[in-house]
Structure formats: structure tokens, C-alpha cells
Amino acid sequence: MKAAILLVVLVATAIPVPMTVTPQNGSSIVTSKDRKSGWKAEWGMEQVQLQGKKAVRFTEKGTGRLSAYSQEVHWTAQSLWLAHDAFLPVETEKTITASDGTVLLVERKNFNWEKGTVTVERRETGQPAEMESFDVPADTLALEGLAGVLRFATVDESHSFSAHVLTNEPKVYSVTFEWRGKERIKTPAGEFECYKLEMVPHLGVLNLVRPFLPKTYFWFSAAAPHDWIRYQGPESGPGTPDVVMELSRSTH
């Protein structure tokens, strides 16, 4: 229990929760080197209440090509994070449909922080429903909403921070978020002076092959409120195509 509390405190220190989370809406455009993926998405974030505590809801609505499907698909996704003493994912849901509206996939993740577990449910057309529950460390972050949360991280040349990330496999990885300097980035939304973070996985004995694996980067505007600008890395986790996701529009 003491170790779990310490992990939460460390994450709360590394990603402090602001007094107020300013609502934001925007859009992004995604391309992949192998041309197997490419899409456009509208997204948003807003502060809400969850059982009397401050929380943040992230939403996304997209259309395009995902590597898992041979046809163009549509999807909606949302994730809910507590934003009280620390940012903690509570639940996520994603629904993917074909162009004719046929549901292809429904995926949900529900976190129980009292028990320190997550339950992942996956229902795919033509396949038996899958459900599994497993333990997660107290500093676990979800991929869904991660970029929106990382904008509040206190990372610079002399400060990195460690956490765990739940991917869509689903697996939990130990990672470190490390500063990679500043760059001027050009996107469809304009040019921005940014700082760059790398999400570095700790793979145990597999660290020997880490230099050969795709890297994962996030860019955020150097000026407050440090908006997300660009992502480069796996489409949805290890083994998926490397993509570049860029801001195309943003409003506060």
C-alpha cells in the first residue's frame, strides 16, 4: 500500500493537476510511411465532475484507414480521467464501424483503483467476446487521453519522470518520459515553437533490441498552455505502423 501511494505521489508531482482544465477542441490529420494508415479526427477535452471530484473527459471522432482494416472505417472514442489529486484514468471506450454503420469493434477499459486492477472488454464482429482483468501499478496511464494529460507534465532538460502505460494489446509497460530539446514545428495548423518528449520503454532483457524499435515522440507548444502539436510513433501500440499525427486546428 505504501508503495502504491508513493507511485501516485510521484505521478502527481510529475504531472500536477491545474486548478482548472480549460476546454479545448481541435482536429488532427494522420499519415503513415507504409500508407496502410491515414485518417482525420475531431477531438475535445473538457472538465467534468465524477462523484463530486474533478475529472477530465477526452473525446474523439475519426474517419479513415486503420491498419487493422482493409476498408475505410469510422470511430468514436472517449476516456474519462480523474483530475483530483493526480491524473488517473477511470474508463475508456472506443467503437469502430464500417461505412455502412456496421459495428466492427467495441473496446472498453475500466480501472478500479481501490483494487489496483483494470478490466479490458473487447467485442469484435464474428469473434467471441473477450474480457480479462489484471493488476496495474498505481502510476499507470492510459493511451487514450495521454497526450492531453502530458501537456501538464513538468519535464525539462534536468527532469524526466517514470510511469507505466497500458497499451491496446493490452499490456502494461514501464516507461520514462524524457526531454529531447526544442524544435520549431510546421503543421497544417501553423508553425509552433515546441518542446519534444520521448516515451522510452523499459523492456528488461529486450532493451538490447530497443535501438531497432520505432521511437515514440510527443511535441507540445513551448508557450503555455503547452498545447499538443504532433505525435510520432506506433499507430496503436507495439507492432502497428509508425504514424505521424499533427494538429490541423485548435480552439480554446
Neighbours of 33 (CB within 10 A): 11
What residue type is assigned to position 5 of the chain? I
**What pLDDT does 3 receive?**
45
H or E segment to which residue 97 belongs: strand 87-98
Domain ranges of the chain: 2-251
Stretch among 152-161, 166-175, 191-200, 227-236 having the lowest mean pLDDT: 152-161
pLDDT for residue 44 = 97
Size of the chain, expressed as the number of residues it contains: 252
Q: Is residue 138 helix, strand or coil?
A: coil
Q: Say whether 149 sits in a helix, a strand or coil.
A: helix
In angstroms, the CA 237 to CA 10 distance is 25
DSSP assigned state of 170: S
Percentage above 70 pLDDT, the chain: 91
Angle at 159 between CA 155 and CA 164, to 5 degrees: 70
- Euclidean distance between CA atoms 187 and 128, whole angstroms: 41
Reading the block at residue 180, the C-alpha cell is 529531447
Q: Is the peptide bond before 170 cis (omega within 30 degrees of 0)?
A: yes
Q: For residues 205-225, b (16+ Cβ closer than 10 Å) or e, as one string?
A: eeeeeeeeeeebebbbbeeee
User: In whole numbers, what is the pLDDT of the chain averaged over residues?
Assistant: 89
pTM given for the model: 0.90
The per-residue pLDDT for range 87-138, each reduced to its tens digit, is: 999 999 999 999 999 999 999 999 999 999 999 999 999 899 999 999 999 9
* Cβ(232)–Cβ(244) below 8 Å: yes
For 131-165, the pLDDT digits (tens) are 999 999 999 999 999 999 999 998 888 788 999 99
